[in-house]
């Protein structure tokens, strides 16, 4: 992988921050030359102060793009709203009667957490499978539990986006799969092929999720978890013990995504000591973790990020 090209002083500043893990004071050159920071691979990206909702850095941040499984943060939000903190709702059992979802679950390209026809899964099991394993069939099953049908749930997703005044967000899928794949399983919906959301609006959805339901910051730190006898693996490689982990960033979320159309996508969040919580989004980025880490380190040096 090619490394990002920066001017010599910028590289030295960022390297010192990364190696030391210590928050340093913002220098005038960093502030004055903010335009020199670039993400070479991401087609769209933002860094947002999670406490204020202010975007502190952006690259094509207002352009709607396919977002793959990052879409699931909206599905998780609406699921948590329906659960409403009640254990009885977490324990509610959802019977799988759709052969399409069973088939999807066993697909090498679209599946993951395998469904058995007629088997009952708790809402919590479906939540864990959708969140950690990014199971598309589990996300769709959750949507059907929330709203009664796939179509009604997608309508609810779009209504929520409208309520939040997200101008660049439109959903046709609870999972993030495109209709070009969903059509083979009986879950095609709407006329557009993909969920289309801007990086900024993804960050705003993530902000609502972690603000209203902070439990996701604990749930999302699990590296893996056994769910109904199956191993659900969390692909967030900025977590502790993973390849791109940096202790000082304190990353505790949030969601990965990939389809060939959307490319690699990632919404990350964490809180460096003495700083405001940050939310970052990179879309269609083949170096999603490297560039997220660079973006977090850079954004924390900008004005307004000190807590």
Question: Active-site residues: which are they?
Answer: 69, 72, 134
Computed on alpha carbons and rounded to an integer, the radius of gyration of the chain in Å comes to 19
Quick check: helix, strand or coil at residue 241?
coil
Give the chain's end-to-end CA distance (angstroms, integer).
35
Q: Which two tokens stand for residue 307?
A: 């807590």
- How far apart are alpha carbons 48 and 53 in whole angstroms? 6
Instruction: Name the burial class of residue 149, with classes exposed (0-12), middle (13-18) and buried (19+) by CB atoms within 10 angstroms of its CB.
Output: exposed
> Count of CB atoms within 10 A of residue 243's CB?
9
CA dihedral 204, 256, 143, 103 (to 10 degrees): 160
Quote the CA–CA distance of 38 and 291 in Å, as a whole number.
9
Cis before residue 254, ω within 30 degrees of 0?
yes
Among 122, 115, 119, 120, which Cα is nearest to 101's? 115
């Amino acid at each position: 992988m090619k490394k990002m090209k920066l001017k010599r002083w910028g590289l030295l500043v960022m390297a010192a921050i990364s190696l030391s893990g210590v928050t340093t004071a913002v220098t005038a050159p960093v502030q004055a030359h903010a335009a020199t920071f670039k993400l070479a691979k991401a087609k769209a990206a933002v860094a947002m102060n999670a406490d204020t909702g202010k975007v502190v850095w952006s690259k094509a941040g207002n352009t709607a793009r396919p977002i793959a499984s990052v879409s699931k943060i909206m599905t998780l939000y609406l699921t948590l709203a329906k659960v409403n903190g009640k254990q009885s709702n977490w324990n509610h059992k959802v019977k799988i009667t759709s052969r399409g979802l069973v088939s999807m679950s066993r697909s090498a390209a679209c599946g993951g957490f395998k469904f058995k026809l007629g088997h009952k899964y708790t809402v919590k099991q479906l939540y864990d499978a959708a969140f950690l394993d990014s199971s598309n069939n589990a996300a769709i099953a959750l949507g059907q539990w929330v709203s009664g049908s796939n179509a009604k749930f997608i309508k609810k997703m779009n209504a929520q986006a409208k309520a939040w005044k997200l101008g660049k967000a439109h959903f046709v899928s609870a999972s993030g799969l495109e209709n070009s794949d969903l059509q083979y399983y009986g879950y095609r919906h709407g006329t557009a092929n993909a969920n289309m959301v801007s990086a900024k609006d993804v960050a705003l959805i993530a902000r609502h999720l972690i603000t209203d339901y902070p439990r996701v910051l604990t749930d999302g730190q699990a590296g893996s978890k056994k769910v109904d006898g199956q191993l659900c693996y969390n692909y967030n490689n900025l977590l502790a013990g993973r390849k791109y982990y940096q202790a000082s960033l304190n990353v505790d979320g949030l969601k990965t995504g990939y389809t060939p159309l959307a490319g690699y996508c990632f919404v990350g969040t964490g809180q460096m000591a003495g700083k405001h919580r940050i939310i970052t989004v990179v879309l269609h980025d083949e170096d999603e973790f490297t560039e997220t880490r660079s973006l977090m380190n850079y954004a924390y040096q900008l004005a307004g990020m000190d807590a």
